[in-house]
Amino acid sequence: MLKIMIVDDDIGIIEVIKTYLKDYDVTGFTSSREALNALEKDKYDFLILDYYVDDLNGSEVVKKIREFDKNIYILLLTGYADSVPGMSSLRDMDIQSYVEKTEMSEVIIHIQSAIKSVIFVKERLKNDNHTFATRLRELRKRFNVSQEELGNYLGVGRTTIANYERDFNLPSVEVLEKIGKYFGVSIDYLLCHTVKYPDLWNSR
């Protein structure tokens, strides 16, 4: 069962969201530090995080989470769109999605959409050990290249590379070509149309 965590300073919002997610294993916290402690002790698939909970803001919480969990899907909630704009949050924070707490119906729709993405990725990884995401991770480790280094080469942020490796996003053909050139592999290999490892390990 999908494990979901909700972190919000308003217990009422937590309870409302819980009622819509009764088919999942859902835990709620009104303390960011209690939430971080629980996330370190147990594996969660999806985090619904309010930006302003207590003395730690959403950006600080996300940074701490990414120190020990690179894969959890994080949806950021905020009721302060002016001070926490969506586009800059997605660009600068290591999160996958963002929604404003204006209409609860819209928040629930956004959450349900994010859950479908998480389930899709989990099922795909369970049924197929060879994906673009796994190939990219294998290549980086083989050549000892960090996500930041690859991102700098491609002209994107580390978060973008991390999302590629979580199978949340697939790069454009142009980016695939640059990745292939960097590691000395074909696009077919990156997209798993070719199973055999190419004879590339002495060149990059």
Domain ranges of the chain: 3-127, 132-190
Confidence at residue 188, expressed as pLDDT on a 0 to 100 scale: 78
Question: 37 pLDDT exceeds 60?
Answer: yes
What are the Cα distances from residue 169, in Å, to 23, 43, 87? Answer: 26, 22, 16
Section 50-73 average pLDDT? 91
Would you place residue 32 in the very low, low, confident or very high pLDDT band (cuts 50, 70, 90)? very high
SS3 label, residue 126: helix
Average pLDDT over all residues of the chain: 85
Secondary structure of residue 1 in the 3-state scheme: coil
Which CATH number is 132-190 given?
A: 1.10.260.40
* % of residues, the chain, pLDDT over 70: 85
Report pLDDT for 150: 95
Q: Provide the pLDDT confidence category of residue 140 given band limits of 50, 70 and 90.
A: very high
* Domain 3-127 indexed as CATH 3.40.50.2300: yes
* Amino acid making up residue 84: V
Q: Given this model, what pLDDT does residue 80 score? A: 64
Residue, of 4 and 163, whose pLDDT is higher: 4
44-58 per-position pLDDT tens digit: 999 999 998 999 999
- 202, two tokens: 């002495």
Determine the pLDDT at residue 200: 46
CA angle 36, 41, 45 (to 5 degrees): 75
Q: How much is the pLDDT for 82? A: 59
**How do residues 74-124 score in pLDDT, each as one tens digit?**
999 887 655 555 555 667 788 888 888 888 999 999 999 999 988 887 776
pLDDT of 183-194, one tens digit each?
Answer: 998 887 888 765
What pLDDT was estimated at residue 181?
92
Tokens matching residue 162: 């991390």
Report, as an integer, the average pLDDT of 20-35: 96
Distance CA 110, CA 16 (A): 14
Separation CA 94–CA 183 (nearest Å) = 25
pLDDT score recorded for residue 199: 45
Count of residues in the chain: 204
> Residue 87's pLDDT is what?
55
Tell me which residue of 145, 162, 171, 164 sits closest to 65, measured CA to CA: 162
H helix or E strand, kind and range, residue 50: strand 46-50
Own/partner pairs, 81-88, CB within 8 angstroms, 24+ separation: 84/51, 84/58
